[in-house]
Amino acid sequence: MLRDMEPADIAGGAFKEARLTYFDGASRIVRYTDVEVPFPEGRLIVSCTDVPGMITQANKAFVDMSGYSKEELIGAPHYILRHPDMPRAAFKGLWDTLARGEKWTGYVKNLRKDGAYYWVFATVIGNVRKGNLVGYTSVRRKPSRTKIDECAKLYPTLFAPGEREAYSP
Amino acid sequence: MTHTFTVSPDFPPARISGWFIFNTWLQRRLEAAIHLELYDDFVRQRADIAAGKIDLIYANPYDAALLVREKGFVPVARPRDKADEAIIAVPAASAVQHVEDLRPGARIASTDDPDVRTMGMIMIEPADLSAANTAAVACGNYVLVAKALLSGTADAGFFLKQSFEELSEVTRRQLRQIVESHIYVVHHALMAGPRLAPRRDEIRDALLGMDQDAKGRDILANLGLAGWDELDEEATEFMIDLMDTLT
């Protein structure tokens, strides 16, 4: 169970609040700012989850960019990164695509522990071992500013009626 | 029965003799006849892998999926502390300071080394560049990639980090690195094919013990390696999954 984000963890003073409810029914208050952290040059953010979506592996770039310690990330649900500016529709097709045994790609705005955000170009694939799905690997790389700007305009238009209102803490 | 050993064609030409010496050492350790077959390019090597002619390979990570998932190879060992990383460089006097300064139509020099090319293409994505809007300048080796930059026939070049660092001082002074990958988990792998798979642990033991004596260390030095670490099935599957996300 994720705890609410603590005001003391938020960098830079002023922040906004939202209550996010995740696919498994869990819910928490997230606090976020308008501070963007640029994706580091030449890095890949790599993480693995088990089938339910709990993080099992996190590389150093993931730890550095998320702001969480490795100990905080391992065993946490991957939606710990979910930013309130990401509409559910932006992830539509992710699970359907993975269920077909294909890889999913998309541009994602991620939430850091300190309330700042970072954009990534994400690819997710299922890990199949001896014919069985045992988890997922997600690799995030640096997106172009053009794509970020397109998504920053598009995503606010994809919220379903009432989806954002439900954020009220 | 003579087995066939091959090496990913991206090795530096200066290491050819080192691989022949390694093969002689391996034959003695395994008391087996092993023929070393070297290829100038990946296409011919992959054709022989597909034809089932290869029994042991020091493989490029890009080929790991083909070898493990389609041809039944088993991972044996990986080079110690030696990940494959890529560098993008430009002529020292170029106005290009960052990847984002490269423009559509840019001429990109690279070898046919598939993992370096994959990493290089990923690193130019932030400039909205891809194979579709850049011009590929094909080069036979990394020295020729450098020459393409110095002669003005390419605007940027993809290098294996180790090969960039092994360019002559004079050449490197005329080039400037604009970005370097820090991926850490992509590396070459020594793998045994179905006919040698039953001897996988024996090969692993021989390799892991190489750095324990002076002769073994000399052979490793000639290959530019510090030693070998065991590579298990799951670590290989992880690398295959990771490469899959990049292509």
| pLDDT value of residue A99 | 87
pLDDT range class, residue A23, cuts 50, 70, 90: confident
A54 has which bridge partners? Answer: A77
- Which pairing describes strands B74-79 and B189-192: parallel, antiparallel, or unpaired? antiparallel
**Per-residue confidence at B12, pLDDT binned at 50, 70, 90?**
confident
Provide the CATH number for the domain around residue A112: 3.30.450.20
- High-pLDDT (> 70) share of chain B, %: 100
Other Cβ atoms less than 10 A from the Cβ of A158: the count is: 14
- What is the Rg, in whole angstroms, of the alpha carbon atoms belonging to chain B? 19
Residue B70: CB partners within 8 Å, gap ≥ 6?
none
Residue B132 sits at the chain A interface (C-beta within 8 Å): no
Give the type of residue at A107: Y
pLDDT at A167: 78
Q: What is the pLDDT of residue A164?
A: 81
Q: Identify the pLDDT of residue A165.
A: 77
Distance of residue B69 Cα from the nearest chain A Cα, in angstroms: 10
Query: What digits encode the pLDDT tens for the residues B124-160?
Result: 999 999 999 999 999 999 999 999 999 999 999 999 9
> Does residue A113 fall inside a structural domain?
yes
| pLDDT surpasses 90 at A122 | yes
Residue B11 pLDDT level (bands cut at 50, 70, 90): confident
A154 in the Ramachandran plot: left (φ > 0), alpha (ψ -120 to 50) or beta?
alpha
pLDDT for position B151: 98
In a domain, A4, yes or no: no
Residues 44-73 of B with CB under 8 A from A: none
- Residue A123 covered by a domain: yes
Looking at the DSSP assignment, which residues form a beta bridge with residue A167? none
All structural domains of chain B, each given as residue ranges with its CATH number in brackets, are: 2-82+185-246 (3.40.190.10), 86-180 (3.40.190.10)
Interface contact B126, partner A, CB < 8 A: yes
Please check whether residue A132 lies inside any domain of the structure: yes
- pLDDT of residue B90 exceeding 90: yes
Helix (H) or strand (E) holding B45: helix B42-50
The pairing of strands A104-111 and A117-129 is antiparallel
pLDDT of residue B24: 98
pLDDT of residue A112: 98
ipTM field? 0.90
- Bridging pattern class, strands B33-37 and B2-7: parallel
**Does residue A145 have a pLDDT over 90?**
yes
Q: How far is B1 from chain A (nearest CA, A)?
A: 31
- Res. B227 pLDDT band, cuts 50 70 90: very high
Task: Determine the average pLDDT of the residues in A41-47.
Answer: 95
pLDDT at residue number A67: 97
Position B105 scores a pLDDT of: 98
Mean pLDDT for the stretch of residues B192-210: 97
A125 CB neighbours in chain B (<8 A) are: 241, 244-245
Q: What percent of chain A has pLDDT over 70?
A: 100
Looking at CA atoms only, how far is residue B158 from chain A in angstroms? Answer: 13
Q: Residue B6 corresponds to which tokens in the numbers above? A: 């091959």
Which chain A residue is nearest to residue B120, measuring alpha carbons? A42
pLDDT at A65 over 90: yes
| Sign of the C-alpha dihedral computed for residues B234, B161, B55 and A125 taken in this order | positive
* CA A26 to each of CA A44, B83, B104: distance values in angstroms, whole numbers, following the listed order: 29, 40, 46
pLDDT at B16 over 80: yes
pLDDT tens for residues A79-111? 999 999 999 888 888 988 998 999 999 999 999
- Average pLDDT over every residue of B185-207: 97
Q: Which of residues 185-224 of B touch A (CB under 8 A)?
A: 185
Amino acid (1-letter code) at residue B225: L
Indicate whether A28 belongs to any domain.
no
Domain that holds residue A94: 36-158
H or E, element range at B18: helix B16-30
- Residue B59's pLDDT band (boundaries 50, 70, 90)? very high
Provide the domain count of chain A.
1
